[in-house]
């Protein structure tokens, strides 16, 4: 059996079902995220951050951030779903644990306004034009009007 | 003002990508390779904007790149012409209406030749440039 | 090594040039190329499906200058070639296959062209 | 000490990748590289939320022109996973065929650009010449040389017949011969191996920790290929090898691409000889999808391409997240530049396979006098160094 999945299940995380093969989706709270990822690297260091994808659920009032990690030798994708309130979206950074998460963290901050606490390289204007950034708007939030 | 006629024997191109998907760029590049060989018309790539006579713009003009497009155009010597290659450079194409796109190149600089297509074939790009040159033969000043 | 080099040089000297001398020679465009397309007004029923499905909103529906039997709404599509991405979605969704497709690509011009004149020419000779 | 800026930015093709490399150098040695982004951000993710499911195929194809079919594949396979749409086997094989043709032309292109960057212009011209027949094949199958627009939800748009099949096989024979020759040139040519061997080494552990993908990762000896690990389209039924080279330098990244090109040609032959009969698309048009989420991965010519698609029912996507391979390779690939020569920066950047137009110009800013000099990246690679 897979070491990574055994570890995640041993933490008592809620597993959500996924229709696609080789995708394992877990719910994690923001304050446990660093602990989970540090543990994952300890169990199997052959994993990389495939993407960090934020979705703004405006009517429910939260932003869901999907940490998609591909485990190279076990050939499976672990997806950690972190939900944070829209008003003050804050998640601790994982950039120091996995250096390859840098670009994805910068992007999530610039486009959705999720603050990755502890990442000192966050800045506006990484991707969005300055006139949008200077108004303090985040383009991928659902209340942003084109 | 120098007559526009003088560049028709050997116009030098400046290729500028204002936010294209690379589709038009590789076709512009392909138009410069042995199969199409534009040096038959004296056309070649200029190493920098101060040597260029014709600017080839590809891609939807993003807000950040729009400023650079204007700056590059101002650096080119007179007489100068702009060719907009591909649907995105002409009108913003599929990206028109996005928050970071200004739409077509003619919003920023005057465009003398539109080459439609997504992307246009290398021959279509050559056709556009040759047509621009033959228009200059009429002696009209820019 | 030296002999091989001489062979290479000689073969390159007698080889035909790979340049296609367009416009003196015909272009390399194949029959399959997605080029300029326009609506055949003798078939179009004015359903506006192409205008709705166009990803770039390059197609607008305009009133016909005269009445046509098969076109009760009296409107026809005009393709703006400056916006069109030649994806042929309109050709595909058309219920009566009214679009005429060509592999014509020499559309470079100092003005933004539309399909209006070509579509109108399909009406010639019809009462 | 002078500060060198490479404005890759205004000219970068794919979605998030428009960048500028800000190189800090001490004499000839590179100390640090920073990445500046945003010139090419066109907001395609936001734009996609306004369009219907089927219109978005055309939008996401235009995220990157060179890898347009893989973008369409990633998007459609995600949507098909949400909607539970079964794609006919013939369509799956045809999709595989067109994706592999795209890999062939993309790899030849980047090898040609690499030849130009190291100053081997005649090789560049020859490779561009031999790439044209592949573009012709793409036009033959799909109707356009670059942007194929070949996909619909649940299938493909055009079928191939025996005449086209024979033509493809005949052209590929010639292409294969030329690719083998160019591979030999890259392996044996003195100039090229001096410029590429041992330049920009990335160790396997670093490559994984920095989230590098595709040929860049495989060039460091990590066996990771989405086609083999996470099969999609018809790859589950096709035998092929995953190419790895263990050196981790620029040359091994290029050789991975050459071997992959040859492997792709074999895949195309297999596909054409085992093409199943049947329809090429499903009968019903897809307009509305049930709620659901899909995490879609595809091996693009440049590496793993990732889409996260969220549907909450209806005829429009709720959110489409696009993560292109170069987004990882360029921004996180900065580890490869440390301790390299300034003249090697363009070579390393090209070996990551960014798109061509990025490698056009370099700005050199002299920090002391504040003067700005502009030159082409090509000239930089020939060893130009302003003032210091």
Please report whether residue D255 resides in a domain. Answer: yes
Instruction: Give me the domain span that covers residue A75.
Output: 3-134
Separation CA C35–CA D11 (nearest Å): 27
Separation CA B95–CA B102 (nearest Å): 9
Q: Does B62 touch chain A (CB under 8 A)?
A: yes
Distance from CA of A81 to the nearest CA of B (A): 28
Distance from CA of D225 to the nearest CA of C (A): 31
Separation CA B77–CA B57 (nearest Å): 17
Q: Does B65 touch chain D (CB under 8 A)?
A: yes
Separation CA A45–CA A146 (nearest Å): 42
Strand-by-strand arrangement of the D319-323 sheet:
D292-300, D303-311, D319-323
D129: chain B residues, CB-CB within 8 Å = 33-35
Distance from CA of A44 to the nearest CA of D (A): 12
Q: Do B26 and D146 touch (CB under 8 A)?
A: yes
Q: Do A129 and B100 touch (CB under 8 A)?
A: yes
* Residue B58: burial class (beta carbons within 10 Å; 0-12, 13-18, 19+): buried
Using an 8 Å Cβ cutoff, are D320 and D48 in contact? yes
First to last CA, chain C: 76
Please report whether residue D388 resides in a domain. Answer: no
Q: Do D40 and B68 touch (CB under 8 A)?
A: no
Q: Do A146 and D224 touch (CB under 8 A)?
A: no
Instruction: Give me the domain span that covers residue D353.
Output: 3-40+328-381
Please report whether residue D323 resides in a domain. Answer: no
The set of chains that have 3 or more CB pairs under 8 A with A is B, D
Within 10 Å of residue D171's Cβ, how many Cβ atoms?
A: 15
Place of tokens 């006629």: B5
D128 and D12 share a domain?
no
D259 and D355 share a domain?
no
Collapsed DSSP state (helix, strand, coil) of residue B70: helix
DSSP H helical segments within chain C, as ranges?
Answer: 2-14, 49-53, 89-93, 116-121
C23: chain B residues, CB-CB within 8 Å = 123, 126-127, 130
Separation CA D353–CA D362 (nearest Å): 18
Residue D27: predicted pLDDT: 67
CATH fold of B4-137 reads: Rossmann fold (3.40.50)
Place of tokens 């060198």: D4
Residue D373: predicted pLDDT: 39
How many residues does the structure list for chain C?
127
Give the pair of three-digit tokens for residue D239: 């035998």
D155 and D293 share a domain?
yes
Q: Do B35 and C28 touch (CB under 8 A)?
A: yes
- pLDDT tens digit sequence for C109-123: 888 889 999 999 988
Residue D346: predicted pLDDT: 76
A111: chain B residues, CB-CB within 8 Å = none
D188 and D307 share a domain?
yes
**B41: which DSSP letter?**
G
CATH number of the domain to which D272 belongs? 1.10.645.10
Give the pair of three-digit tokens for residue A88: 């003050």
How many residues does the structure list for chain A?
146
pLDDT at B117 over 80: yes
Please report whether residue A38 resides in a domain. Answer: yes
Please report whether residue A140 resides in a domain. Answer: no
Q: Which of A18, A103, A125 sits opposite D328 (nearest CB)?
A: A103
Q: Does D140 touch chain C (CB under 8 A)?
A: yes
Q: Do A48 and D211 touch (CB under 8 A)?
A: yes
CATH number of the domain to which A50 belongs? 3.30.460.80
C–A contact (≥3 CB pairs within 8 Å)? Answer: no
Q: Does A102 touch chain D (CB under 8 A)?
A: yes
D195 and D285 share a domain?
yes
Number of domains in chain D: 2
Name the residue among A130, D121, D5, D175 with its Cα closest to residue A139: A130
- Residue that terminates a domain, selected from D311, D338, D364: D311
All structural domains of chain C: 33-121 (3.30.70.3270)
Residue D38: predicted pLDDT: 58
Distance from CA of D157 to the nearest CA of C (A): 9
Chain B nearest-CA residue for A128? B100
- pLDDT tens digit sequence for C91-105: 999 999 999 999 999
D298 and D349 share a domain?
no
Give CA separation, B121 vs A96, B128, D370, in Å: 47, 11, 43
pTM: 0.90
Please report whether residue A142 resides in a domain. Answer: no
Looking at the DSSP assignment, which residues form a beta bridge with residue A23? A77
D59 and D122 share a domain?
yes
**Judging by DSSP bridges, how do beta strands A23-28 and A14-16 pair with one another?**
antiparallel
Q: Which of B35, B118, B131 sits opposite C18 (nearest CB)?
A: B35
Residue B141: predicted pLDDT: 41
Separation CA C43–CA D159 (nearest Å): 26
Which residues of chain A have a pLDDT value below 50?
none
Instruction: Report angle CA A133, A137, A141 to the nearest 5 degrees.
Output: 130
Chain D nearest-CA residue for C18? D129
Q: Does A140 touch chain D (CB under 8 A)?
A: yes
Please report whether residue D302 resides in a domain. Answer: yes
Q: Do A102 and D292 touch (CB under 8 A)?
A: no
User: How many residue contacts between B and C have a Cβ separation below 8 Å?
Assistant: 93
Using an 8 Å Cβ cutoff, are D311 and D290 in contact? yes
Residue B133: predicted pLDDT: 85
Q: Does D312 touch chain B (CB under 8 A)?
A: no
D78 and D16 share a domain?
no
- pLDDT tens digit sequence for B65-83: 788 788 889 988 888 899 9
**A14: which DSSP letter?**
E
Q: Does A62 touch chain D (CB under 8 A)?
A: no
Please report whether residue D303 resides in a domain. Answer: yes
Q: Does B64 touch chain A (CB under 8 A)?
A: yes
For chain A, how are helix, strand and coil distributed in percent, rounded to 5? Answer: 30, 30, 40
Collapsed DSSP state (helix, strand, coil) of residue C66: coil
Number of domains in chain A: 1
Name the residue among A11, A116, A107, A37 with its Cα closest to residue D209: A37
Which residues of chain D have a pLDDT value below 50?
1-2, 4-18, 356-388
D307 and D353 share a domain?
no
Instruction: Spell out the domain ranges in chain B.
Output: 4-137
Separation CA A61–CA C90 (nearest Å): 40
Q: Which of B63, B64, B98 sits opposite A146 (nearest CB)?
A: B98
- pLDDT tens digit sequence for B14-39: 888 777 777 888 888 888 888 888 88
* DSSP sequence for A84-109: EESSS-EEE--TTT-GGGHHHHHHHH
Within 10 Å of residue B139's Cβ, how many Cβ atoms?
A: 10
Distance from CA of D99 to the nearest CA of B (A): 16
Please report whether residue A100 resides in a domain. Answer: yes
Q: Do B19 and D58 touch (CB under 8 A)?
A: no
Please report whether residue A108 resides in a domain. Answer: yes
Separation CA B70–CA B76 (nearest Å): 10
Q: Do D208 and A102 touch (CB under 8 A)?
A: no
Q: Which of B15, B19, B93 sits opposite D40 (nearest CB)?
A: B19
- pLDDT tens digit sequence for B91-101: 888 888 888 78
Name the residue among B125, D174, B130 with its Cα closest to residue C29: B125
**Judging by DSSP bridges, how do beta strands D292-300 and D303-311 pair with one another?**
antiparallel
Separation CA D262–CA B112 (nearest Å): 44
Distance from CA of D15 to the nearest CA of B (A): 8
Looking at the DSSP assignment, which residues form a beta bridge with residue B76? none
Using an 8 Å Cβ cutoff, are B72 and B101 in contact? no
């Amino acid at each position: 059996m897979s070491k990574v999945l055994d570890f995640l299940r041993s933490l008592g995380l809620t597993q959500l079902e996924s229709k696609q093969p080789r995708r394992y989706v877990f719910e994690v709270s923001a304050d446990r995220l660093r602990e989970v990822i540090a543990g994952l690297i300890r169990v199997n260091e052959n994993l990389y951050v495939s993407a960090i994808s934020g979705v703004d659920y405006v009517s429910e009032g939260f932003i869901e951030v999907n940490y998609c990690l591909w485990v190279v030798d076990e050939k499976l994708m672990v997806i950690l779903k972190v939900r944070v309130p829209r008003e003050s979206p804050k998640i601790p950074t994982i950039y120091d644990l996995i250096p390859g998460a840098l670009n994805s963290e910068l992007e999530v901050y610039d486009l959705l306004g999720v603050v990755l606490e502890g990442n000192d390289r966050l800045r506006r204007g990484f991707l969005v034009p300055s006139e949008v950034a200077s108004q303090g708007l985040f383009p991928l939030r659902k209340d942003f009007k084109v | 003002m120098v007559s526009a006629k003088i560049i028709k024997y050997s116009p030098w191109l400046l290729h500028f990508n204002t936010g294209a998907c690379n589709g038009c760029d590789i076709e512009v590049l392909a138009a410069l390779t042995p199969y199409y060989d534009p040096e038959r018309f004296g056309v070649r790539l200029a190493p920098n904007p101060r040597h260029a006579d014709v600017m080839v713009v590809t891609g939807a003009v993003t807000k950040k790149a729009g400023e650079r497009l204007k700056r590059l155009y101002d650096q080119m010597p007179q007489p100068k012409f702009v060719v907009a290659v591909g649907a995105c450079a002409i009108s913003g194409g599929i990206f028109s209406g996005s928050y970071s796109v200004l739409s077509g190149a003619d919003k920023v600089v005057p465009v003398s030749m539109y080459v439609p297509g997504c992307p246009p074939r290398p021959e279509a790009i050559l056709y556009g440039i040759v047509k621009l040159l033959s228009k200059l033969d009429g002696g009209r000043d820019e | 090594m030296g002999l091989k080099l001489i062979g290479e040089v000689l073969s390159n000297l007698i080889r035909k040039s790979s340049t296609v001398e367009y416009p003196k020679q015909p272009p390399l465009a194949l029959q399959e190329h997605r080029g300029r397309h326009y609506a055949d007004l003798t078939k179009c029923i004015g359903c506006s499906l192409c205008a709705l499905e166009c990803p770039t909103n390059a197609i607008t529906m305009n009133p016909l200058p005269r009445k046509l039997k098969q076109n009760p709404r009296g409107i026809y599509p005009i393709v703006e070639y400056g916006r069109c991405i030649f994806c042929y979605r309109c050709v595909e969704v058309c219920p009566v296959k009214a679009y005429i497709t060509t592999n014509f690509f020499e559309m470079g011009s100092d003005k933004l062209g539309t399909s209006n004149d070509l579509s109108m020419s399909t009406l010639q000779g019809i009462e | 000490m002078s500060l060198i800026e490479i404005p890759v930015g205004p000219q970068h093709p794919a979605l998030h990748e428009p960048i500028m490399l800000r190189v800090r150098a001490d004499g000839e040695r590179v100390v640090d590289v920073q990445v500046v982004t945003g010139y090419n951000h066109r907001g395609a993710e936001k734009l996609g939320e306004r369009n219907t499911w089927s219109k978005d195929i055309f939008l996401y194809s235009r995220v990157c022109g060179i890898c347009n079919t893989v973008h369409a594949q990633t998007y459609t396979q995600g949507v098909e996973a949400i909607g539970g749409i079964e794609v006919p086997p013939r369509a799956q094989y045809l999709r595989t065929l067109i994706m592999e043709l795209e890999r062939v032309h993309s790899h030849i292109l980047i090898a040609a650009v690499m030849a130009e960057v190291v100053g081997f212009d005649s090789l560049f011209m020859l490779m561009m010449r031999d790439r044209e027949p592949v573009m012709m094949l793409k036009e033959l199958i799909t109707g356009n040389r670059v942007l194929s627009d070949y996909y619909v939800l649940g299938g493909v748009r055009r079928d191939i017949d025996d005449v086209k099949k024979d033509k493809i096989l005949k052209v590929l024979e010639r292409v294969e011969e030329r690719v083998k020759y160019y591979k030999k040139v890259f392996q044996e040519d003195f100039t090229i191996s001096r410029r590429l061997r041992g330049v920009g080494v990335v160790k396997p552990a670093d490559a994984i920790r920095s989230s590098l993908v595709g040929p860049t990762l495989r060039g460091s000896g990590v066996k990771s290929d989405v086609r083999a690990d996470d099969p999609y389209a018809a790859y589950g039924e096709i035998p092929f090898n995953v190419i790895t080279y263990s050196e981790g330098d620029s040359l091994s990244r290029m050789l991975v691409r050459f071997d992959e090109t040859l492997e792709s040609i074999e895949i195309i032959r297999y596909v054409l000889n085992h093409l199943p009969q049947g329809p090429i698309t499903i009968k019903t048009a897809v307009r509305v999808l049930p709620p659901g989420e899909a995490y879609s991965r595809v091996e693009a010519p440049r590496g793993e391409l990732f889409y996260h698609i969220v549907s909450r029912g209806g005829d429009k996507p709720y959110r489409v997240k696009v993560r292109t391979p170069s987004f990882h390779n360029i921004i996180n690939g900065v580890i490869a530049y440390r301790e390299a020569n300034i003249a090697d920066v363009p070579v390393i950047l090209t070996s990551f396979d960014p798109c061509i137009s990025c490698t056009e110009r370099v700005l050199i800013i002299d920090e002391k006098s504040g003067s700005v000099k502009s030159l082409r990246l090509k000239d930089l690679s020939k060893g130009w160094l302003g003032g210091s």
